Structures are given as structure tokens and as C-alpha cells.
Amino acid sequence: MVKYKLAFLIIMILFGACKSQPESEARWCDQLPREANTQFKKSDYSNYWFEVYQVHDSIYAIYEPYQWQEVISYLIIGNEFALLFDTGNGIGNIKQVVNKITSLPIRVLNSHSHYDHVGGNADFDFIYGMDTEFTRLRKQGLPHERVAEEVSPEALCKPLPEGVVAEEHIIRPYEIDEYVTEGFTIDLGNRLVEVLSIPGHTPDAIGLWDKENGLLWTGDTFYQGAIWLFAKETNLADYKHSINRLAEISKSLNHLLPAHNIPLVEPTLLVELDDALTQIENNGVRGTDISDGRIRYTFDHFTILMNKN
């Protein structure tokens, strides 16, 4: 039990949602909504579990604010089909929300294959996947034991949706219909988006680039919050290279659309992140030891969590 509570506290600190408050003080979810998200009007497509914002022409952010991941999936509506970039953590039924927004056929593309981004994949008929071994392995799903903490009371701001049983929560296996690589383009008719391979956070991490409109979906490669760079599948050298590439691209962007916390942020933050990684590499900034050999580096708009050695 002590180990479980410690893991909970670490996660909350990493996401910036908790600052080691005693139980008598407000829980992390009492700080919702995030101030940055008050600029968005919650659409009528929102329901008990999901908040939906229209953040651009034909683009909807589907946000899960009541679970500690605060994951955001995006529905991009085209002329003949719609692209769903990520499917959330699989607790709420994201397909029901998508079907209310559009009657078009849906194709799914994941920013990467971590469980909180592929949770609803099994409900959709067509899925793109990056052509990596990591992607093939993760499509097998995960048993309850691997994701039980995600539906624990500590992970939630409200009771689970009706009909969802915590003890039965798993990440269901799914099939990939078409594998893609760097430079693959998806023509939505009214919008052309390009896949950017940006490994580091995971081997299959991608960005989705809409050049014409200056939009970049960044997945977990960048979001405002605590950026996780300590998983066994994370490659720090690859991550630094990917961020350096995105920092260059940022000069032509109008908005970033990350996969957690805030759905529309400034592209200049990629340059800040690139600079931050350089400072860390050159020992120009001091980190704070957390636990389990991890260290936290704090900057103005995000924090970086990585292994100490």
C-alpha cells in the first residue's frame, strides 16, 4: 500500500497537478478547469466523461479532464471521412462522441502506442499505425493489472461512467489496417496532413503536420505539463533530435495541438523546450531529485522528468 500511494504521489507531481498537499487540502482535480482552457466554449457534444471544444475549422478536441492523464484526442473532419488522432484511455466511449459530431467514416491514427492514447482503438474499423516493432507489440492490448491504477479512486475526479466497472478495465487488442512511415500524407479533401516521425518519447511517436494551416499535433512529444522522458522505451538522444527538428518547423506554425492538458498552445514553446534540453545537457540548470532515480527540471511553461543516470 505504501508503494501504491508513493506511485500515486509521483504521478501527480509529474503532471503538475499536485504539490505534495496533505489530504486536508484540495485534491488535484479541485484545481480544474485549467485556466488556459477557460478560453474554449464547451460544445453540446460534451457528455459526462468528455469535454469537447471546437478549436479550429472542422477540428474538435475531445478532452478527458476527470482522469489524471487529462488526455486529449482530436477529430479532424474532412469531406469524405474524418481522422481521429488518438482514441483516449478507453474509460469513456469516445466512439459515441465522435458519432454525434459526424456521420462520416472514421479513420484512426495514433500519436504513439501508449495505453492512454489507444484505449478506444478497438471500436473503430480502420486504423493507421506506424511501421515499428513497438507499434506491433502494443496493438495486443494490456491486461487489467497493467492499467488498474488508471481507474483507481486516486486517478479520478468523479465516478466512472455508467456501466464502466473498474475491475474490468483493460486496453483491448486491435488490428492495424495500414502501416505508415515518415512523410505519409492523408488527404481529407479539405485538408492535407503529413506524418512526421519524431521518435524519442516512444519509438513510434509521430507529429501530424497541416502545413497549409500551420498546425502541428504533437502527441506526447510536447505538451504543457510534466514531460515524461523516463520510460524504458524512451530514447533521450532521439527525443533531443526530434525536438530540434520541431523547433525549426515551429517558425512556420500557428498552433500546436498537444495530447494532454491544453489543446491549443504557442509554437514558440518548442524552441523553449529545445533550449531547455540543451541547458540540461550542458549542466546549465539544476534538477530536483524525486524518487526511484528520477529527476525533475522545472521551466516556465513545462517540466521535464527523466532518469538521473
pLDDT at 251: 94
Angle CA(287)–CA(291)–CA(293) in degrees, nearest 5? Answer: 75
CATH of the domain at 113: 3.60.15.10
Give the three cell numbers for residue 227. Answer: 514531460
pLDDT at 213: 97
Among 103, 113, 110, residue whose Cα is nearest residue 82: 103
Cα–Cα distance between 117 and 113 in angstroms, integer? Answer: 7
pLDDT at 196: 98
pLDDT at 283: 93
Cα–Cα distance between 197 and 181 in angstroms, integer? Answer: 7
- Name every residue whose Cβ is closer than 8 Å to that of residue 29 and which is 6 or more positions away in sequence: 17, 66, 68, 156, 157
pLDDT at 9: 44
Task: Give the residue numbers spanning the domain of 48.
Answer: 2-307
Give the three cell numbers for residue 89. Answer: 484511455
Cα–Cα distance between 86 and 136 in angstroms, integer? Answer: 16
Q: For the chain, first and last CA: distance in Å?
A: 28
pLDDT in tens, the chain (309 residues): 333 343 444 444 444 433 222 233 346 788 899 999 999 999 999 999 999 999 999 999 999 999 999 999 999 999 999 999 999 999 999 999 999 999 999 999 999 999 999 999 999 999 999 999 999 999 999 999 999 999 999 999 999 999 999 999 999 999 999 999 999 999 999 999 999 999 999 999 999 999 999 999 999 999 999 999 999 999 999 999 999 999 999 999 999 999 999 999 999 999 999 999 999 999 999 999 988 889 999 999 999 999 987
Half-sphere exposure of 238 toward its Cβ, with a 13 Å CA cutoff?
15
The total domain count for the chain is 1
pLDDT at 2: 32
Strand partners, 305: 228, 296
Cα–Cα distance between 99 and 307 in angstroms, integer? Answer: 41
pLDDT at 30: 84
The answer to whether residues 184 and 209 touch, using CB atoms and an 8 Å cutoff, is: no
Cα–Cα distance between 10 and 107 in angstroms, integer? Answer: 35
Is 67 exposed, middle or buried (CB count within 10 Å of its CB: 0-12, 13-18, 19+)?
Answer: buried
The length of the chain is 309
